Amino acid sequence: MFVVGCPRSGTTWVQLLLSQHPLIATAPETQIFAYYLDAFRRQWLWEREGPGGKRHGGAGLNRLLSDDEFDALCRAPAEFVLDRIAERNPDARVVVEKSPRHALHAGWILRVLPDARFLHVVRDPRDTAASLFAAGAAWAPWAPRSPTEAAALWRDSVTGARRVGGDPFRYREVKYEAVRENAVEELGGLYEWLGLPADRAFCEDAVEACRLDRLQKSASGDEVPIPNRRSPEGFFRKGLVGGWRDELAGWKVRIIEEGCADLMDDLGYERVSTAASIPVARVRAGLHRGLHRVKRGLDWRINQLIRRI
């Protein structure tokens, strides 16, 4: 079962809660699809659908394999990694892999691993952005620095994860805010969804073990409930619902709401931007998007130069 969601949406906390069950095996995020197999897949697509096939006369694996055979080729390393996670707990009936960015690859993961299940953790995009900005300032160089980029990452993550929705056995969506408000009930529901026995007392103990204030104190030590996991200073924050109101400037809120409006409405996150403020937000968002496109263009050119070298 893959725990996915936009980074800084509470996926680690939900993973820690789940990990309290003796029939679950888990590990620090592997990024097997997002960081490793995705590079393999991008080369495949470059040869098969992009300019690579023309430049190299169709050379590469695409001359030998079909799409299904390529997915089967990727299945072996993915299953190898999941088996290694399973080895951490010989009694486990469920293997939980948590890498937030796998939300962007959920549809492909399901093709490679048809038996996969997905738990999608969704958080208010404004709180998510505030957490992303704090992480970027302290320990996460990969985190978006602009509200336009943060909104795009949230939107892409939610949309990507939802591509595998429709089957309640295969896909479950849980809101971070709901877990914060009723952690015991929500955790019990997740265990039931996974077919794992757990009474209320067990769930209460699990929630107590994973209190955010406790995780903040032990993040850099050995007491975090996932073995061998050491989190950077500031990884676990207060996790407040609505904390964005004290952390985000008004113009950032407007840009985020403009970029995520339809999904926010669908998920029940109330917007605060007024009709009069939207045009200003659109201008700012347009400027940020333009800068983002320039950055992506430069990154693409640098990658092309590296390929030639």
pLDDT at res. 141: 92
pLDDT at res. 132: 97
Q: CA nearest 171: which of 125, 107, 124, 93?
A: 107
pLDDT at res. 67: 93
**CA atoms within 13 Å, Cβ hemisphere of 102:** 29
Residue 216 lies inside a defined structural domain of this protein: yes
> Would you say the pTM of this structure is higher than 0.95?
no
Residue 8 lies inside a defined structural domain of this protein: yes
Residue 296 lies inside a defined structural domain of this protein: no
Q: Which residue's structure tokens are 């265990």?
A: 191
Q: How far apart are CA 256 and CA 244, in angstroms?
A: 11
Number of structural domains in the chain: 1
How is residue 271 written in tokens? 């917007």
Q: pLDDT digit of tens for each residue in the chain (309 aa)? A: 999 999 999 999 999 999 999 999 999 999 999 999 999 999 999 888 876 555 655 678 988 999 999 999 999 999 999 999 999 999 999 999 999 999 999 999 999 999 999 999 999 999 999 999 999 999 899 999 999 999 999 999 999 999 999 899 999 999 999 999 999 999 999 999 999 999 999 999 999 999 998 887 765 444 554 544 566 777 888 899 999 999 999 999 999 999 999 999 999 999 999 765 555 555 555 665 566 567 667 776 786 677 666
Q: CA nearest 203: which of 224, 173, 183?
A: 183
Residue 280 lies inside a defined structural domain of this protein: no
The residue length of the chain stands at: 309
Q: Extract the runs of DSSP E, i.e. beta strands, from the chain.
A: 2-4, 24-26, 94-98, 118-122, 171-175
Residue 304 lies inside a defined structural domain of this protein: no
pLDDT at res. 54: 59
Cβ within 8 Å of residue 205, ≥6 positions away? 20
**Is 131:12 a contact under the CB 8 Å cutoff?**
no
**Is 128:9 a contact under the CB 8 Å cutoff?**
yes
Q: How far apart are CA 139 and CA 216, in angstroms?
A: 15
pLDDT at res. 282: 54
Its domain, for residue 235, covers: 2-125+150-241
pLDDT at res. 215: 84
Q: How far apart are CA 157 and CA 294, in angstroms?
A: 22
Q: What is the CATH number of the domain that holds 155?
A: 3.40.50.300
